[in-house]
Structures are given as structure tokens and as C-alpha cells.
A and B are shown apart, each in its own frame.
Chain A
Amino acid sequence: MFASPLRWNDVWLMLQGAGVTLSLTFWAVLGGTLLGLILGVVRPSSRWWVSAMIGFVLDIFRSVPLLIQLVLVNSFNSIVGLRLPVFTVACVALALYTAAYCAEVVRSGVLAVPLTTRRAARSLGMSWWQDITSIVLPMGMRVMLPTWIGLTLGVMKDTALVLWIGVAELLKTSQSIITRTQEPLLVLAIAGLIYFVISYPIARAGMRLEKKWNTQ
């Protein structure tokens, strides 16, 4: 194929790597979004020192390069002897990193809901929790969505960094194929195309949802 040492089998390997990238992204975004939701909702209505503490921890996760976090979490796993598979370690580290950003996304969404609207909800006898689930999150969602989509796409591309702790995702697979075939441009072009094919539908879906909400 392609009159080069690259074989169909290699493309198949890359697709498998893409599968790993996808599932890393899925778990990281799922875990990160859940944790981020909790932190982002709780923080604005908690005491100042709780909020300050949460803020400080999140700042750490957002300020230290992801690569260093991955290596540290991986080493922690070995030192403490948790013996978690390296894939799990990668998911955990990525989820924490995602949560730190997601918490800010959620917080800005929550703060975008006017206090008077929340007051109106409470005045109807709705509890704090009913206010959050029926009013604040659905309304805040419209503010959060574009940033959240951006975050998801960012995390998807950041998963490439886990090759440093030995997870064979798309980029790692591509690299080993490059080593054998000496066809870096072609292989990287294919890898790039695969990343694009994954990202594009997510971005499109986000845009369509936004458009739908805007017509209300």
C-alpha cells in the first residue's frame, strides 16, 4: 500500500490506538465532569475558607504541567504499591486534571444565573437542591457548554501525553510505526486525520445544541 513500507495492518494498529485515545478521553471527561460539577456547584455556596481551600487545590492541578502530573501519579501508584494498571493511572490523572478546569467552567455557569431568579425559585418553596437541578444547572448549561466542549477537545488531544507513562494510545502507536517504517510524515498525517475525525463530530454536536438553545 502507498508504495511504502506502511501496511494496512499498521493503519489497523493506529485505529486500535485511536480506540484507546477515545476511551481515555471518555473516562477522563466523565470523571472530571462529575467531580467538576460537584466542586463547581458546592464552591459558590460554601464558606469562604472551604471555597479558598478548594480553589487552592484546583490551582495546583491547573498550574502544574499535565506531563509532570502524569509522572507523579504514576510514581505514586508504584511507591504506594497500589498496582493499578497504567491505563487506570492515566485515566485518574487525566480526570483530576479535567475536574480542575471543569470546576471553573461550572462555577462560572452557576454564577451566571441571576440571584433574583434563584430567589424566585426558592420563594416558590423549592429546596436548594431543586433550585440547583431545575434552575441553576439547566440555565448555567448554556453558559458552560461552549467552554466544556473546548475542554473536552483539549483533553482529547492532551491524552497524547500518556505515552510517556507507557500507554499505547494513538500517538504512541504511531511513533512505533514510524520507528519501523521511517515514514513520519505519512503516519503523522494519518494520526492527525484520525484526531480530527474524532474531534469534529463533538464540536459540531456542541454547535448544534448551542444553536437550538439560542432559538429559545
Chain B
Amino acid sequence: MIEVSDVRKSFGKLEVLKGINLTVKKGEVLSMIGGSGSGKSTMLMCINGLEPIQSGRIVVDGIDVHAKSTDLNHLRKRIGIVFQQWNAFPHLTVLENVMLAPRKVLKKNRQEAEQIAVRHLKHVGLGEKLKVFPSRLSGGQQQRMAIARALAMSPDYMLFDEVTSALDPQLVGEVLDTMRMLSKEGMTMIVVTHEMRFAREVSDRVAYFHQGKIHEIGSPEQIFGSPNQPETANFLKSVHGA
């Protein structure tokens, strides 16, 4: 379970998170939507400790992420994250990209790590590309590789930070399909996205971020069907209009 209570976060003088409260249960898929600069991506970075927070608490399975005593490297084994920029390691083959962290962090031997990597790469449909360098892959394939790379650590949670925003439109589908598959398998996911149809279809709950706060949170049917807040309605109208 991920418990976020009254989290505040600033970049210099600019406060980007103004008291966030949120609970994500095991097996749940939560989508975070909202305009750019609304704080949703920053929230993700804070959940696995990539960004420090100024006040409040984020607790993952009883571990306070931002406590001084917390071993972040240890915690991050359990929280996978995939970024907008897929961030392939360009000097390693697809297989080596996925094998690296199981070998270095989980201390698996080469054979075990390779088995894990092959399994996850096949799972995301890249079984034919094992020996290829990432530069030979399309954006969609690189992003699926990044998902396999995170899954290879057998995380309990997966965070997705606008993973389709940098992709050519015709490549978005394959990545969303992969995420759909994960949600069906029961993975706990927090998904920052601009893909409203995907959010509506896959999420258990949807949170609308506005000016550093969760302005409204509820079931997809409620948020998309009958939003309580005028800002939510305006945002959804502007997105659908685009």
C-alpha cells in the first residue's frame, strides 16, 4: 500500500505540491490526469524518492520513503518506474539492458538474470530483439523494453510517467496494450497520462491534479461522466476538444 499524507514539495520558491493526500491499495490502478505543471509527474518522482519532499510523509508498505534511515536503493527494487523518455542504456543490447539491474542489484548470476530478462522481454513482445542495440528499435519498442527492464526487478508497484507522450501516434497503442496487460495481471500501477480513453478504461480510480493539489478523485465513470468540479469538467473538455 502506498500512503501519501499532506506532502508538500517546492522547486526553489515554486511550490509544486501543496498538500497531497492519497492512498493506493495493492492491485489498484490509479491514473493521474491534469494539465502540465499540475504536479502529477513530480508526485511520482517523490513516491520512489527520486525527488525529496519538504514536508508530509510517503509510506510504502510501512516504509517511510523520505526518512533518513531508509535505504532508497533497497526500496526502489520494489517500485518500478518508466519515464516519458525511455532512457535505454545505449551501450548495452536489449537483453543486457534488462539483465543489468537483476545482476547488479539483485545479485543474480548471469544465467538467472538472462532467464528473467528473456521472460520479461518476451512478455512485452520483444523476444526477437534480444541481441539488438536500442538505437535499432522504434520508440514504442524502446518504451516496451523500459517496461521489461522495470518488471525484471519483480516490483510490487509500477509507476508510469507519461510513457506515451514522446511517442509517434502510431506507436502509442502497443505501449498502452502492454500496460493494459499488466493491469489485467493485477499489477499495482500509478499512471500519469494524457491518454484519457486509456485512463477511463483501465483505471480503478482517477485523480485530477490542478495547481499542485488533487482537485478531484473518484471512479473513472464519475470523473469522466459527471465531474463534480468545474475545473475538472473544463480540463476534460479541453482535452477532448484537442
User: A residues touching B (Cβ–Cβ < 8 Å)?
Assistant: 114, 116-117, 119-127, 130, 134-135, 138-139, 142, 213, 216
- Asked if B76 CB lies within 8 Å of chain A CBs, one says yes
Pair A119/B87 contact, Cβ less than 8 Å: yes
Docked-complex contact A123 and B50, CB < 8 angstroms: yes
Interfacial chain B residues near A125, Cβ < 8 Å:
73-77, 101, 105, 153
Q: Is the CB of B89 within 8 A of A126?
A: no
Partner of A216, one of B48, B73, B76, B90: B90
Chain B min CB distance to A138 (Å):
5
Cross-chain contact A138 with B81 (CB below 8 angstroms): no
A9 shortest CB reach to chain B, Å: 50
A138: nearest residue on chain B (CB-CB)?
Answer: B91
Contact B105 A120 (CB under 8 A): no
Residue of A whose beta carbon sits closest to that of B103: A134
A126 to B48 Cα, complex, angstroms:
13
CB distance from B5 to the nearest CB of A (A): 23
The residue that B50 contacts in the complex, of A119, A138, A216, with Cβ under 8 A, is A119
Closest to A131 in B: B104
User: What is the chain B residue whose CB lies nearest that of A141?
Assistant: B91
Contacts of B66 in A (CB 8 A): none
Tell me the B6-51 residues at the A interface (CB within 8 Å). 48, 50
Asked if B146 and A120 make an inter-chain contact with CB atoms under 8 angstroms apart, the answer reads yes
List 29 A–B pairs whose Cβ atoms lie within 8 Å, in order of A's numbering.
A114-B85, A114-B87, A116-B85, A117-B87, A117-B89, A120-B87, A121-B89, A122-B50, A122-B76, A123-B48, A123-B76, A123-B81, A123-B83, A124-B80, A124-B105, A124-B150, A125-B73, A125-B77, A126-B73, A126-B100, A126-B101, A126-B105, A134-B100, A135-B89, A139-B90, A142-B91, A213-B91, A216-B90, A216-B91
Q: CA of A135 to CA of B91 in the docked complex: distance in angstroms?
A: 8
Contacts of A127 in B (CB 8 A): 73
**Bound state CA distance, A193 and B139, in angstroms?**
51
Give bound CA distance, A216 to B146, whole Å: 18
Contact pattern, B 88-99, Cβ under 8 Å of A = 1, otherwise 0: 011100000000
Instruction: Knowing that A117-B89, A123-B50, A134-B100 touch, tell me 8 more A-B residue pairs with CB under 8 angstroms.
Output: A114-B87, A122-B76, A124-B77, A124-B80, A124-B149, A125-B73, A126-B100, A126-B104
**Residues of chain B at interface, number, CB under 8 A:** 25
| Contact between B153 and A124, CB atoms less than 8 A apart | yes
Output the nearest chain A residue to B149 by Cβ-Cβ distance: A124
B40 to chain A minimum Cβ distance, whole angstroms, is 17
- Which residues of B are found within 8 Å of A216, using beta-carbon distances? 90-91, 133, 135
Expressed in whole angstroms, the Cα–Cα distance for A216 and B134 within the complex equals: 8
Q: How far is the CB of A131 from chain B (nearest CB, A)?
A: 10
Q: Which residues of A contact B87 (CB under 8 A)?
A: 114, 116-117, 119-120
Report the Cα distance A122→B85, complex, angstroms. 15
Residue of A114, A122, A124, A130 with most partner-chain B CB within 10 A: A124
**CB-CB nearest in chain A for B87:** A120
Chain A residues near B48 (CB, 8 Å)?
123
Which residues of chain A are within 8 angstroms of B81 by Cβ–Cβ distance?
A: 123
Contact between B153 and A116, CB atoms less than 8 A apart: no
5 shortest interchain CB distances as A-B pairs: A120-B87, A124-B101, A125-B76, A125-B105, A125-B77
A126 contacts across to B, CB distance below 8 A:
73, 100-101, 104-105
Chain B neighbourhood of A124, CB < 8 A? 76-77, 80, 100-101, 105, 149-150, 153
